[in-house]
Structure 1
Amino acid sequence: MDVVTIGESMVLFTPESSPLMKYAHTFSKKFGGAESNVAIGLARLGHQSGWISKVGNDEFGKGMVSFIRGEGVDVSQVTYSTTASTGLYFKEVRRSNDVRVEYYRKGSAASTLQPSDLDTSYIKNASYLHLTGITPALSESCYETIKSAISIAKQNGVTVVFDPNLRKKLWSEKKAREVLLEIAAQSDIVLPGVDEGFFLFGVDNPESLGQLFLDNGSSLVVLKVGAKGAYYFTKEESMLVPGFPVKDVVDPVGAGDGFAAGVLSGLLDGLTLEQTVLRGNAVGAMATMVSGDFEGLPDRLEIERFTKQLDMEDVHR
């Protein structure tokens, strides 16, 4: 297995008859979750990805697992709860820069994940373990599950990749800061946004943040700085890798997950760090051009067309 990830996916409802939820009479139903988005993005790029989670033994849960399996993700480690339901959330896209989310996930099946749900051999046979800061925010047992997964990875030489993916609605700022810094310190690679860096360290200068994350324990930091692109930092070198311009952002949700999938793909393919971050930037940009959390995630041919098209536009300017 190339990448194993752990986290909750939910049923996503988006208003169709009106952009405002309070006036909407019809909704589209999709699925969404940071970790499964990354797993789907990797599968589309030709990598083996596995998703560990728990869903309700209900029609939503069964439909979700079937769908994610159909995207090429291994779902053999997803279990069904007979006592808790699959989580839901509603996404209201008012404008490209005004997206509002309401969660209905408290007490969900995924929030009951616990260390005993982990198969040690499944994690130890992966090249990378991908985690986000969302899962430990769901419950104390989820937090313990993430700690256990990190321990398994560390004992077996599996590289731990962590995207803080801050969700302030899920826990107190004090607890979030404490846990996110703890997990980042145990991770080999961290993928924060500059806003998350500011939340954790109180500074927003990219160079300072890169050094702070390195000092905290990570060996590679890839810091997202919006449309400008992303920096990478190691103890030996650093660079700003420019982003790809997107004229019309349709839906920004999922861009960070696309970025993570692109970066992991580049690492798996043995690209240079600059090429790896460039791939992350490309996948993240493409994710914003389509409505939905993962619908815009490309395959390799689509990435190639996207980057070639931009190169040709530069030539003709």
Structure 2
Amino acid sequence: MTEDPRPGGRADRGPGVSGSRAAGDTGARPAAPGAVAGGGEVARAPAPWPRADGTVVCVGETMAALAPEPPESLDTGESLRLSVAGAESNVAMYLADLGVSAVWLSALGDDPFGRRVRAAVAAANVDVSGVRSDPHRPTGLLVKEPGPAGTRVHYYRRGSAASALGPEILDDPRLGSAALVHLTGVTPALSPSCGALVERALATPPAERRHAISFDVNHRPALWPEGTAATVLRDLADRADIVFVGLDEAQHLWGADLDARGVRELLPRPRLLVVKDGGREATAFDGDGRVVTVPAPRTEVVEPVGAGDAFAAGFLAGLVRGGALTSALRLGHITAASALGVTGDHGPLPDAATVERLLGLTERAWAARA
């Protein structure tokens, strides 16, 4: 962990408003937007943020995924492994693994791929009861092509059931009990109606929201018309409460010379901004100007696809569980490592005792694992 260098700055405090005590100091969760401490009145206890008693609702497309088994060229491979792949359902599944109540909202084709996707996400203890079955549109499909320079992904999703999602999905009653709604930059790129969905989710001012909004920039260049992604994704991200972005994708979108602090200058409004610097470190910025950097532990990488979703789930689980930023970042790294070690998007987590032991390491002991 790297502490905020400002005089009096303290990096490991939770993301509460100025004047609130650290979540890591008291076990209390950070104050909700608009909470006030001090002054002539008796300070109210900070409200949990996000609420610990609610669910996390993840909204977005999931596809059937095919990959050579064992990993080799599609030109010569003789068998393909069928799995599922979708940023938002990945987050939901990892949240469920971490003991957080998770809901996935989407649409699937009324076809074998759709039934396979629904069953796989449900098997991870995610609530899929709000997922629609579309008899007129197919389930999206992707095919992974491993190669020496990394894995290339071919998408077959045009006209998919999920591309027809629109703002009305936000009327789902499951959002009434949500502590947090998680979206990604994939969704607004799928269709105008999907873009309207994300716009509606972010239209309510932060102080008036019934739940926090989490947004992973998740830039997929192939989905965007040339020259459009940078402006749209920056605007959407800056209206969310919690934002995740990779430093590499921020540099690609908004400037090759950006560092983590430069990204914060471009996205000043989110209550929490997390900038992930590949396998090196992740830095969180809170609304009070505090900064926490936690190095990533050494991990054998089988395939990087899905690691960003796993990190987001771990971080969000850490917040919902009431942890300070350091703990949330560590849990993000731990969860990401489970995705890096498998060819699919969803890998097995360490047992709960191991996770708690890792979260409890001293700063020096954690750094020794980097």
The TM-score with structure 2 as length reference comes to 0.78
The AA in structure 2 aligned to 1:211 is: E
Shift of residue 210, structure 1, vs aligned partner: 2.2
Contact 1:123 1:153 in 2 (8 A): no
Contact 2:295 2:367 in 1 (8 A): no
CA distance in 1, matches of 2:224, 2:156: 14
Shift of residue 116, structure 1, vs aligned partner: 2.2
Higher Cα Rg: structure 1 or 2? 2
Contact 2:65 2:144 in 1 (8 A): yes
Deviates more, 1:147-156 or 1:304-313: 304-313
Contact 1:153 1:160 in 2 (8 A): no
* Aligned residue number for residue 19 of structure 2: none
* Aligned residue number for residue 285 of structure 1: 337
CA distance in 1, matches of 2:262, 2:188: 27
Verify: 1:38 aligned to 2:103, yes or no: no
Structure 2 counterparts to residues 15-34 of structure 1, below 5 A: 15-16=68-69, 19-34=72-87
Match for residue 316 of structure 2 among 226, 245, 264: 264
Taking a change above 3 Å as real, the CA distance of residues 108 and 301 of structure 1, as seen in their structure-2 partners, is farther
* Aligned residue number for residue 150 of structure 1: 202
Q: What SS is found at the alignment partner of 1:129?
A: strand
Contact 1:191 1:223 in 2 (8 A): yes
Shift of residue 281, structure 1, vs aligned partner: 1.3
The AA in structure 2 aligned to 1:212 is: L
* Aligned residue number for residue 108 of structure 1: 160
Q: Report which of the two has the higher share of helix.
A: 1
Deviates more, 1:298-307 or 1:185-194: 298-307
Contact 1:120 1:152 in 2 (8 A): no
Shift of residue 113, structure 1, vs aligned partner: 0.6
Per-residue CA distance 1:33-78 (angstroms, 9 max, x = gap): 1100000000000010001100000111112112211110011110
Shift of residue 211, structure 1, vs aligned partner: 2.6
Deviates more, 1:84-93 or 1:191-200: 191-200
* Aligned residue number for residue 254 of structure 1: 306
Cα RMSD, aligned residues only:
2.4
Shift of residue 163, structure 1, vs aligned partner: 0.5
* Aligned residue number for residue 228 of structure 2: 175
CA distance in 2, matches of 1:109, 1:266: 33
Q: What SS is found at the alignment partner of 1:218?
A: coil
The AA in structure 1 aligned to 2:177 is: N
Q: What SS is found at the alignment partner of 2:57?
A: strand
* Aligned residue number for residue 227 of structure 1: 279
Q: What SS is found at the alignment partner of 2:302?
A: coil
Verify: 1:209 aligned to 2:252, yes or no: no
Shift of residue 307, structure 1, vs aligned partner: 6.7
* Aligned residue number for residue 107 of structure 2: 54
The AA in structure 2 aligned to 1:207 is: R
CA distance in 2, matches of 1:314, 1:259: 20
Contact 1:36 1:68 in 2 (8 A): yes
Contact 2:181 2:213 in 1 (8 A): yes
Taking a change above 3 Å as real, the CA distance of residues 305 and 29 of structure 1, as seen in their structure-2 partners, is farther
The AA in structure 2 aligned to 1:208 is: G
Higher relative contact order (CA 8 A, sep 6+): 2
Shift of residue 132, structure 1, vs aligned partner: 0.4
Q: What SS is found at the alignment partner of 2:163?
A: helix
Match for residue 7 of structure 1 among 56, 60, 75: 60
The AA in structure 2 aligned to 1:183 is: L
Q: What SS is found at the alignment partner of 2:81?
A: strand
Contact 2:341 2:347 in 1 (8 A): no
Shift of residue 306, structure 1, vs aligned partner: 6.4
Shift of residue 201, structure 1, vs aligned partner: 2.3
- Between Structure 1 and Structure 2, how many residues are aligned? 311
CA distance in 2, matches of 1:86, 1:213: 34
Deviates more, 1:26-35 or 1:232-241: 232-241
Shift of residue 162, structure 1, vs aligned partner: 0.7
Contact 1:53 1:79 in 2 (8 A): yes
Per-residue CA distance 1:88-110 (angstroms, 9 max, x = gap): 00112224x51110001111111
The TM-score with structure 1 as length reference comes to 0.91
Query: Gapped runs of 5+ residues in structure 2?
Result: 1-53
CA distance in 1, matches of 2:199, 2:129: 21
Shift of residue 157, structure 1, vs aligned partner: 2.6
Q: What SS is found at the alignment partner of 1:74?
A: coil
CA distance in 1, matches of 2:312, 2:182: 9
Shift of residue 151, structure 1, vs aligned partner: 3.7
Match for residue 195 of structure 1 among 221, 229, 248: 248
